[in-house]
């Protein structure tokens, strides 16, 4: 990563933090709502912000969500929420968030996914992609939030070595959660935070990988699995917030007990669905294979369909040269928000290993290209897409049209 790009992104972070400090910590002391993703990266991002907000006595409410979509954003902005920070999501949906933002409201998007349309001047979008730093390889959502939070401490003239070390750790956990550690190392912003975490003793290098002393020397991958269970499988039971609490040292043993129960639930559902696939196979076309679980994964959150696709791929229970798509119905009521208008389906997409090699060679489009284009054609919303893992939301009943749109995009010169 070039030093001038890092310098530019640090300056972007400084300006965003200074603006937030002026509004949220100035005379008015406006409350803040952190809308964050419910996966491991999003939970680590929320923890990074929460830990600094507590240091600076900033009133903050955490609001985890699964996906960005018009009815969800409308419901978020309809309530009195003060300043709104979007963490690890929102970058691809700036136009949508802009639509529902009041004139007197400060909204800051802290994201690392490939940006969508530019927002109005009313919204601040802090994203390393704007400075040529890859959010898919070099910077997790938690890394972005950690650097923003660090600049917020500086704006408050608050020097706390322990806070900086914890922020670095959150960035590293987020990077591992988003698959940004390769061959035991990281690059870009992630690498800077990993070096800090190692120097400060927040991460230890042991035989076979990294462990985290403050979490009983558990391997970092085990912490990521724990957060995904709490935030994704346990989303509708409110356990994304349990994941944040765990990272901040609150009720650790209870979090472990809850995660154990959620792991058993996930295993039972996945094995049952996998057995049905062994019997009847996946649906498929020339370039795509798919499964629609409809409401069969209740009470798990809709991140479960993505985890299930990974489960099938690891077992090689899929065609290795085709995109794999999963559909799962979104429940009508969302924790912290209430009932959502309309019936929605979550789409998850993954790439098996043979197809991944062909995408790297440029023979096929990656999911950052494919999923947003196909989703837009059927009136849905895509946010938080990566090269080899992506998700979006569409109206229930549009699944067939979406699959056709995928084939259409693939037949074009993408």
DSSP character string of 332-355: SEETTTEE-SS-EEEEEEE--HHH
Alpha carbon distance 316, 330 (integer Å): 27
pLDDT reported for residue 359? 94
What own/partner pairs with CB < 8 Å and gap ≥ 24 does 268-272 have? Answer: 269/296, 269/297, 269/300, 269/304, 270/307, 270/308, 270/311
For 148, residues 6+ apart whose C-beta sits below 8 A from its C-beta are 13, 16, 17, 49, 110, 126
pLDDT reported for residue 1? 61
Residue 108 carries which DSSP code? E
Lowest mean pLDDT among 39-53, 156-170, 246-260, 280-294: 156-170
Give the pLDDT mean for 210-229.
96
Same-fold call for 3-227 versus 281-411: no
Give the pLDDT mean for 178-188.
90
pLDDT reported for residue 173? 98
pLDDT reported for residue 120? 75
> Token pair of 182, please?
């390769």
User: Cβ distance 21 to 152 under 8 Å?
Assistant: yes
Maximum Cα interatomic distance, the chain, rounded to a whole number of Å: 65
63-118: per-residue pLDDT in tens?
Answer: 999 988 888 899 899 877 889 999 999 998 888 899 999 888 899 999 999 888 77
Give the pLDDT mean for 207-224.
94
- CATH for 3-227? 3.90.1640.30
- More confident position, 383 or 389: 389
- Domain spans of the chain, in order of start: 3-227, 281-411
pLDDT reported for residue 356? 93
229-261: per-residue pLDDT in tens?
Answer: 999 999 999 999 999 999 999 988 999 999 999
Q: What percentage of the chain carries pLDDT values higher than 90?
A: 76
Give the pLDDT mean for 366-370.
93
pLDDT reported for residue 25? 76
Give the number of other CB atoms < 10 A from CB of residue 36.
33
Using 50, 70 and 90 to split pLDDT, how confident is the model at 160? low
Give the SS3 label for residue 382.
strand
Handedness of CA 359, 187, 373, 349 (dihedral sign): positive
Using 50, 70 and 90 to split pLDDT, how confident is the model at 161? low
318-350: per-residue pLDDT in tens?
Answer: 999 999 999 999 998 999 898 888 899 999 999
- CATH for 281-411? 3.10.310.40
Q: For the whole model, what pTM was predicted? A: 0.93
CA dihedral 328, 333, 336, 337 (to 10 degrees): 100
19-52: per-residue pLDDT in tens?
Answer: 999 888 765 667 899 999 999 999 999 999 999 9
Alpha carbon distance 210, 218 (integer Å): 9
pLDDT reported for residue 304? 95
């Amino acid at each position: 990563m070039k030093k001038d790009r890092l310098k530019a992104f640090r300056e972007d972070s400084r300006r965003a933090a200074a603006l937030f400090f002026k509004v949220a910590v100035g005379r008015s002391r406006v409350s803040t709502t952190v809308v964050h993703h419910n996966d491991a990266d999003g939970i680590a991002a929320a923890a990074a912000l929460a830990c600094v907000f507590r240091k600076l006595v900033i009133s903050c409410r955490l609001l985890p969500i699964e996906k960005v979509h018009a009815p969800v954003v409308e419901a978020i902005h309809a309530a009195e929420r003060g300043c709104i920070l979007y963490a690890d999501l929102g970058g691809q949906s700036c136009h949508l968030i802009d639509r529902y933002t009041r004139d007197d409201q400060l909204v800051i998007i802290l994201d690392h996914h490939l940006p969508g349309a530019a927002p109005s001047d009313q919204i601040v979008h802090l994203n390393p992609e704007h400075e040529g730093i890859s959010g898919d390889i070099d910077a997790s959502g938690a890394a972005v939030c950690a650097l923003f939070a660090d600049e917020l401490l500086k704006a408050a003239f608050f020097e706390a070595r322990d806070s900086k070390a914890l922020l670095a750790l959150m960035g590293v956990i987020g990077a591992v959660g988003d698959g940004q550690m390769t061959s035991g190392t990281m690059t870009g912003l992630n690498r800077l935070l990993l070096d800090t975490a190692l120097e400060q003793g927040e991460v230890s290098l042991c035989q076979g990988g990294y462990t985290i002393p403050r979490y009983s020397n558990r391997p970092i991958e085990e912490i990521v699995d724990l957060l995904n269970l709490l935030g994704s499988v346990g989303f509708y039971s409110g356990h994304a917030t349990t994941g944040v609490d765990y990272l901040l040292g609150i009720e650790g043993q209870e979090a472990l007990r809850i995660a154990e129960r959620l792991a058993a639930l996930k295993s039972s559902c996945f094995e049952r669905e996998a057995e049905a696939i062994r019997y009847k196979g996946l649906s498929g076309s020339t370039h795509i294979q798919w499964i629609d679980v409809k409401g069969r994964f209740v009470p798990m959150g809709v991140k479960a369909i993505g985890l299930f696709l990974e489960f099938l791929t690891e077992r090689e229970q899929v065609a290795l040269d085709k995109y794999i798509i999963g559909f799962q119905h979104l429940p009508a009521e969302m924790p912290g928000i209430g009932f959502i208008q309309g019936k929605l389906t979550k789409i998850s997409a993954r790439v098996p290993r043979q197809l991944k090699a062909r995408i790297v060679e440029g023979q096929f489009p990656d999911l950052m290209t494919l999923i947003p284009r196909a989703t837009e054609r059927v009136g849905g919303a895509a946010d938080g897409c990566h090269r080899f893992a992506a998700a979006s939301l569409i109206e229930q009943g549009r699944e067939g049209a979406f699959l056709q749109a995928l084939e259409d995009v693939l037949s074009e010169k993408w």
